[in-house]
Amino acid sequence: MIEASAPGKLVLLGEFAVLAGGTALAAAVDRRVQVSLNPSDRWSVRSAGPAESSDEFEPLSNTSASSPKFALIESVLEEFQRFVGRELPAHLIEIDSSALYDAGSKLGLGSSAAAAASLLLALDCAANLKLDPAVRFRLGHAAHSRAQGGRGSGVDVAASTFGGLIGFRQPEEIIPLNWPNGLGLIAVKTGEGSSTVGHLSRMEAFRKSNPKQFDLEMGRLVELSERVPTDILDAEQFMGLADDYFQALAGFDRKASIGIVTSEHLRLRDIASKFGAVFKTSGAGGGDLGLIFAKLELLDQVRSAIQESGVVVVPVPISPSGARIEAV
């Protein structure tokens, strides 16, 4: 048996801009998807998690189309076998993504990307290839993108594969970064999880209907995102950048009606600002996690105020390690 895991991710800044050539800032989160491979007489997949009943299906078969929830797993298997140029011995794949859920709802931490990264490492170990993480990232991104209909920048797969804090530019530029001294982070639930695919579809509709305005708004986001590698060096500078980015994103959202920024986000921004802290959305926005950046000496006060307002704080410790083998 082989056991592997990969962390979830938080996109801290650069969401959406990364799709237009900007830089995304992402952190691997020490809430991990677990994958195990057990030799078997046939390929099968069993998933477990609060939002998924235990289930099985046979990948790489004519019946797989009837199991869209396992499209990612089949895509990863196909990508890996195409890369190695041979069929692999059959295994039972068991996947547990429960750590990336809370009370039965997804937290928006990239469970599918973490599943792809952990499964690829487990398959790599089973084939005894010892692939470079950069190769596993390329395979994972290709499989993940195909399973999502060609959407996605790859930043979530990169964070789950490499771990730590990274800057990311398409197609595969990874910039290792360090967390600035004196900066604290609080993640909060802002509602039910949102659909990245839905937001991207509405953004594309806006681009087609008003290309000049789209270019202006997206250009501003890209311009701000390019400050990530320098501004992350200083807590004060980065908080200013995060606030600028959120305001630019809110302006974009007002014109495009994407659904990124909600009234709850604006309420949380008001609470955070009383302590000199900064609120911004994460990833697709909408109901996904919100982020509050604050000076470390004020972090406890901010957390208490947020909780007293009825908002759930979600622990998201940054994971220095990406995908890793847990047992062989």
The verdict on 174 and 192 lying in the same domain is no
**Average pLDDT for 299-326:** 96
Instruction: Quick: pLDDT tens for 269-281.
Output: 999 999 999 999 9
The verdict on 229 and 155 lying in the same domain is no
The verdict on 56 and 162 lying in the same domain is yes
The verdict on 224 and 283 lying in the same domain is yes
**Residues 6, 321: contact at Cβ < 8 Å?**
no
**Residues 24, 141: contact at Cβ < 8 Å?**
no
Integer CA distances (angstroms), 87 to 90, 91, 130, in order? 9, 12, 17
The verdict on 239 and 165 lying in the same domain is no
302: CATH? 3.30.70.890
The verdict on 130 and 204 lying in the same domain is no
The verdict on 144 and 229 lying in the same domain is no
The verdict on 241 and 297 lying in the same domain is yes
The verdict on 166 and 243 lying in the same domain is no
Determine the structural domain holding residue 218 and report its residue range.
Answer: 183-314
The verdict on 173 and 200 lying in the same domain is no
Here the tokens at position 23 are 């830089």
The verdict on 16 and 142 lying in the same domain is yes
pTM over 0.75: yes
CA distance 179 to 175: 13
The verdict on 53 and 145 lying in the same domain is yes
9: CATH? 3.30.230.10
Instruction: Quick: pLDDT tens for 156-215.
Output: 999 999 999 999 999 999 999 999 999 999 999 987 655 566 677 788 888 888 999 999
How many domains does one find in the chain? 2
CA distance 258 to 133: 34
